[in-house]
């Protein structure tokens, strides 16, 4: 049953994004504990030094194409 | 005392505020907040074009429906019809309901078009679509306009498994126009305990085909694009580029990083979900508006700590 709960929550977020309605879970992590029957929301922030979306990140299409994600998912650290 | 129509019209008109289409245009363009503009004509008139942003409430339903559309009665409400006659009676009806600023547009939609102002032509619904989406049409947050957005939307689903199954079914039911489904697996009997888009009769079929069968039967408005491949570094950018939103239902680190990097580059939001035993998580990675996956996990954990 748990995949149903989470998958339907995902579908709801998609609909909100398409319609431009409400507050999608951007910067928030929603967790559901099925044994406790509790939902919690944790705030999560951006990392200014993020190697993908940070101010100095140099991520580009050729880097994605050339990387073997099955072997390593590490990106070069920004600024290097 | 019985009166002739002409006398009635003149009496009502004297008690109703009227402005011209130029005033309506500047209220729409320059107002601090979007004004309420109500089109009180009949459906066939509305379908041939209407003032952008106007809401459609035919004259016959105005008193019944206005309060759900405009709850605050001190708000200005602009009413228009084809030529400015029906909207005068409509304004009077709103005055009687306590709307203090009900304004009729003189000359109506005819004058709006003659002035050369832009107008929208709404999507034409088939009778089946009108029935299928009737509940959505009634919700202010969706309505006909929102349903049009859903039918124009393109969503890429990564995986037609435990998470992708319910997500695909609800998105298809809601009328999302295009669903891309990426999955390289075939349906196995052990999947059916949770992967509800598949079924016993389709064991052995590619999951993309099995999902297509179910979705087509549920809603023929939805185009399913089955991508019977593994998501990898050489196909991810081309696949994601064709869609508006990505739903991740694949639970492995390589796919998460791959998808994240492609979506950051292309500026597409990912709706991510994951499950571990009896706990589940959902979040949205919207590039440059919120954190991405790498903001939270710059690199993967060592293999021996990673849950499968």
How does pLDDT run across B9-29, given as a tens digit for each residue? 999 999 999 999 999 999 999
Cα–Cα dist A5/B49, whole Å: 41
* Token pair listed for B306: 């990673």
Residues B215 and B162 in one domain: yes
Q: Are residues B182 and B300 in the same domain?
A: yes
Give the model's pLDDT for residue B1: 62
Same domain (yes/no): B160, B298: yes
pLDDT at B307: 55
In this predicted structure, what is the pLDDT of residue B32?
72
Residue contact B291–A31, C-beta within 8 A = no
Which residue among A7, A24, A47 places its CB closest to the CB of B284?
Answer: A24
Q: How many domains does chain A divide into?
A: 2
Distance from CA of A80 to the nearest CA of B (A): 15
Going by C-alpha positions, the residue among B107, B93, B71 that lies closest to residue B16 is B93
Which ranges of chain B does DSSP label H, i.e. alpha helix?
Answer: 5-14, 21-30, 43-47, 62-69, 86-96, 108-114, 127-132, 134-138, 143-152, 164-174, 207-218, 236-241, 253-266, 293-296
Q: Are residues A33 and A56 in the same domain?
A: no
Q: Given pLDDT bands bounded at 50, 70 and 90, which one contains residue A77?
A: low
Residue B65, chain A, CB below 8 Å: the answer is no
Q: Does A38 contact chain B (CB < 8 Å)?
A: no
Average the pLDDT over A38-55 and give the result.
95
Nearest 5°: phi and psi at B186? -110, 155
> pLDDT of chain B along its 308 residues, tens only?
667 999 999 999 999 999 999 999 999 998 777 899 999 999 999 999 999 999 999 999 999 999 988 999 999 999 999 999 999 999 999 999 999 999 999 999 999 999 999 999 988 899 999 999 999 999 989 999 899 999 999 999 999 999 999 999 999 999 999 999 999 999 999 999 999 999 999 999 999 999 999 999 999 999 999 999 999 999 999 999 999 999 999 988 899 999 999 999 999 999 999 999 999 999 999 999 999 999 998 877 766 665 54
**Structural domain of residue B266, as residue ranges?**
153-305
Cβ of B26 under 8 Å from any chain A Cβ? no
pLDDT at B195: 98
From B76, B102, B122, the end of a domain falls on B122
**Do residues A40 and A1 share a domain?**
yes
Number of domains comprising chain B: 2
In this prediction, residue B2 carries a pLDDT of: 66
Side-chain half-sphere of B208: how many Cα atoms within 13 Å? 18
Q: Do B279 and A31 touch (CB under 8 A)?
A: yes
Q: Does residue B140 fall inside a structural domain?
A: no
User: Which residues of chain A are within 8 Å of residue B253 when distances are taken between CB atoms?
Assistant: 73
Quick check: A3 and B171 CB within 8 A? no
Q: What's the CATH number where B265 sits?
A: 3.40.50.720
- Together in a domain, A29 and A56: no
A55 plus A78 within the same structural domain: yes
* Residue B276 and residue B168 share a domain: yes
CB contacts < 8 A (A, B): 202
Is the pLDDT at A78 greater than 60? The verdict is no
**Structural domain range at position A75:** 47-80
Q: Are residues B172 and B79 in the same domain?
A: no
Nearest CA in chain B to A44: B291
Question: In sequence order, what are the beta bridge partners of B103?
Answer: B17, B78
- The answer to whether residue B174 neighbours chain A at the CB level (below 8 Å) is yes
């Amino acid at each position: 049953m748990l995949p149903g709960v989470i998958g339907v929550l995902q579908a709801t977020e998609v609909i909100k994004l398409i319609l431009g309605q409400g507050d999608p879970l951007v910067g928030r992590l929603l967790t559901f504990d099925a044994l406790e029957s509790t939902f919690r929301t944790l705030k999560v922030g951006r990392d200014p030094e993020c190697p993908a979306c940070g101010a100095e990140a140099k991520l580009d299409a050729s880097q994605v194409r050339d990387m073997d994600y099955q072997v390593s998912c590490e990106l070069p650290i920004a600024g290097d | 005392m019985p009166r002739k129509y002409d006398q009635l019209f003149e009496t009502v008109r004297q008690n109703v505020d009227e402005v011209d289409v130029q005033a309506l245009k500047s209220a729409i363009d320059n107002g601090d907040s979007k004004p309420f503009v109500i089109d009180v004509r009949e459906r066939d008139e509305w379908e041939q074009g209407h003032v952008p942003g106007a809401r459609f409430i035919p004259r016959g339903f105005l008193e019944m429906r206005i309060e759900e559309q405009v709850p605050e009665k001190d708000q200005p409400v602009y009413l228009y019809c084809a030529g400015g006659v029906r909207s005068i009676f409509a304004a009077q009806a709103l005055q009687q309901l306590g709307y203090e600023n009900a304004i009729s547009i003189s000359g109506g939609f005819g004058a709006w078009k003659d002035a050369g102002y832009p107008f929208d032509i709404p999507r034409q619904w088939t009778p089946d679509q009108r029935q299928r989406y009737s509940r959505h049409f009634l919700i202010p947050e969706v309505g006909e306009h929102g349903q049009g957005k859903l039918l124009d939307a393109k969503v890429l689903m990564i995986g037609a498994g435990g998470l992708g199954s319910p997500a695909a079914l609800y998105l298809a039911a809601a009328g999302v126009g295009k669903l891309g489904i990426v999955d390289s697996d075939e349906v196995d009997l052990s999947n059916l305990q949770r992967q509800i888009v598949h079924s016993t009769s389709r064991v052995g079929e590619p999951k993309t085909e099995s999902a297509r069968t179910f979705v087509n039967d549920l809603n023929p408005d939805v185009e399913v694009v089955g991508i019977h491949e593994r998501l990898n570094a050489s196909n991810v950018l081309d696949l994601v580029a064709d869609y508006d939103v990505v739903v991740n239902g694949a639970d492995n680190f390589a796919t998460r990083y791959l998808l994240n990097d492609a979506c950051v580059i292309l500026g597409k939001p990912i709706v991510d979900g994951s499950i571990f035993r009896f706990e589940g998580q959902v979040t949205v990675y919207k590039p440059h508006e919120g954190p991405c996956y790498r903001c939270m996990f710059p690199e993967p954990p060592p293999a021996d700590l990673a849950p499968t």
